[in-house]
Every structure is written in C-alpha cells, then in structure tokens.
Amino acid sequence: MVLIDPKRQVGLYMIENDNSGERTFQYWRNDSAARYLMRHKDLTAVFEKLSEYDTLFLSGISLAILPDKDKFQLIDALKALKQQGAKIIFDGNYRPKLWADKQTAQMFYNLVYPIADLALITFDDEQLLWGDANIEVCRERLLTHQIPHLVLKDGANGCYHTHKRETLHIPTTPIENVIDTTAAGDSFNAGFWLVG
C-alpha cells in the first residue's frame, strides 16, 4: 500500500517485467511535481538557472503531462534558451494515453522538432502518431524540420543517424538473455549524446 499526501505533488511508477525482459508500466502521475513545472513560484529563477547549462533534454512525456497553456510557455522558454546558445535534445517518446488526441500531439511535436539540435526518435512511436509507411518516409518528414542530428531508433534493426542529409545505419548487437529492458532507451540517449 502507498499513502500519498494530498498536499504534495507525488507520482508513483511501477514496472513489471515479463520472461523476455520486456517491461510494462503502471503510472499514477496526475499530481506529479513535473506536471506543475511551469507553475513554479519562481519560474524566472528556474529558467535563469537553466540558462547556465549548455544542453537541455525534453521528452514527449514531459511535454504531454503539462496543460496546453504550459506546453506553449515551455516551448517559448526553450526557444529563448536556444537563442542564448543552449542545445536542445528531444526524445519523442509518444504515449497516446497522455494526449487528448493525435492532432494535439502532432501540433506540439511540430513546434518542438524545429528547435531540436538532436532528435532521438523511436520509429514505432512516430508510426503510431503519424502513420508513416516506413522509416524512410518518417526520416524525410522529420528532416523537413531542419533537425541537425536526427536519430531514428528501429528496435532490433538498430538505428539511423542522419546529419547533413547523410544517414548512417548502426546495427544492434543481439543479446541472448535479456533480463530487464527498463531504461534501455534512456541509456541509449545518454550514451549517444556523450559519445556522439
């Protein structure tokens, strides 16, 4: 049993793994602190502090859980930080249950793609959101946003890194005994940025 203090913003996450290491998530995050990010009592100071960082990371989930007004405000703040020299990394991470409808998600993604210096995109998610016929169609659609570094993750097929219209396919290394895939995508994202 978990008791949640109604005076605090708390999120609860549970992960269950199947025999192949694939995970299923259960979330209780309607009152998580992240949902109230743009309502911080000293938001100006928060973004002044963020201006000291050279790289900022945004996930589609972080965007999805905000009220629409806050989404616009966050995107405007990120644009301002980008103009000050910050690099913006966007992990699409589309989760249909977090959005009112596809059209709303598409609208906000189309506002974020153009400010991304690096987009780390999972093809399955994009296909679900946009209905792309294949990975090439997906890549061409995303490149219309002039994203300097685009990484399309394609599960067991590896990933595709596009920079200056040149695409490199990076295959996966098969793992026979997968125990837990939790944070595999996050680890990939962190490693790609550090090594790349």
| Catalytic-residue membership of 186 | yes
Q: DSSP letters along 25-89, please?
A: EEEE-TT-GGGGGGG-TTHHHHHHHHTT-SEEEEEHHHHHTS-HHHHHHHHHHHHHHHHTT-EEE
Number of Cβ atoms within 10 Å of the Cβ of 150: 22
Q: Which of 31, 70, 132, 186 is catalytic?
A: 186
Enzyme catalytic residues: 186
